[in-house]
Structure formats: structure tokens, C-alpha cells
Amino acid sequence: MVSRDEMYRLVWSEPMVRTAKRFDVSGSYLARICTLLNVPRPARGYWAKLAVGKAPAPTPLPAPRPGDPLRWSPDGERVPPSKPKAPPRGRSATTVRIARNQIHNLIRGARTHFENGRPVARVPISNRLCQPKLS
């Protein structure tokens, strides 16, 4: 089992191809594993830039997202992702009652806006724009 913290350390310590050989997988497969674990990888050309002293600082390891797996097994063992804990469900202590004849605050002024708008003429279906114009 390889944790995401350990994978992050391995990926940023040597090129992906060498790290992949440790696990007997390809570099592209290991890149997909890093994506699955939400582990950032060095960009293309990082190791060449590092050799001449012009490499950017490593991208920090972000916090795991809900549902992200935290470990990977090179032997193919499926590790179920940890499930985020949902807040306890329950009703609030106070219940809000709205009378049927009461108008909701969000639509209270809507009627006056509709009445003050400009009128739209009804156009018969035969005169609509979807029909081809005859010249």
C-alpha cells in the first residue's frame, strides 16, 4: 500500500519513469494513479530544469477531496475511498408556517412589474418567422 503522501514524495524525488519501475508499471499508468489520488506531478521538462537550477518549486500536496482514495496498492488490491461523514439529519427546532393567502417576499412586487411592462402583440402562427419568406 502506498499512501498519497508517500506517492507525492516519490513523484517529486525522481522522474516518473524511475518511480514507475519500482512498482513494475508504466509511467503513464502511474500518472493516472497520481490523478486518481489527487497528487500533483512535475510538469514536462521539470527534471531538465532542475539539473540546471531553474526548476520551479514543487506544487504542494492539496488536501484530499471527499471521495478521493487515500492509498493505492501496486498489486491491484481495490482500496475503497473513505466516505465523507454527512452531518446528522434532523428537523430544525422551529417550523415556519406560511398562510396560503400570503404572498411570498420574493414575488411580492412581481405583479406590478408585469402590469407596467410594455404589451406584446399576439402574432398568428401563420405569420411567424419560422416560415420561409416568399419573394
Question: Does a structural domain hold residue 115?
Answer: no
Q: Which three cell numbers stand for residue 125?
A: 402562427
* 17 within domain boundaries: yes
Rg (CA), the chain: 30
pLDDT digits (tens, 9 = 90+) for 103-122: 777 787 787 887 787 777 77
Whether residue 112 is contained in a domain is answered as no
Angle, in degrees to the nearest 10, between helices 4-13 and 16-23: 130
Would residue 67 count as lying in a domain? Answer: yes
Of 68, 84, 60, the C-alpha closest to 3 is 68
**Stretches in the chain below the pLDDT threshold 50:** none
Write down the pLDDT at residue 99: 74
Which structural domain range is residue 45 located in? 2-72
How confident is the model at residue 68, as a pLDDT? Answer: 81
Domain total in the chain: 1
Tell me if the pTM is above 0.75.
no
Q: Is residue 77 part of a domain?
A: no
| CB hemisphere CA count around 110 (13 angstroms) | 6
Alpha-carbon dihedral 45, 47, 48, 51, rounded to 10 degrees? 160
Position 124 in a domain: no
Q: Which residue carries 520551479 as its cell?
A: 56
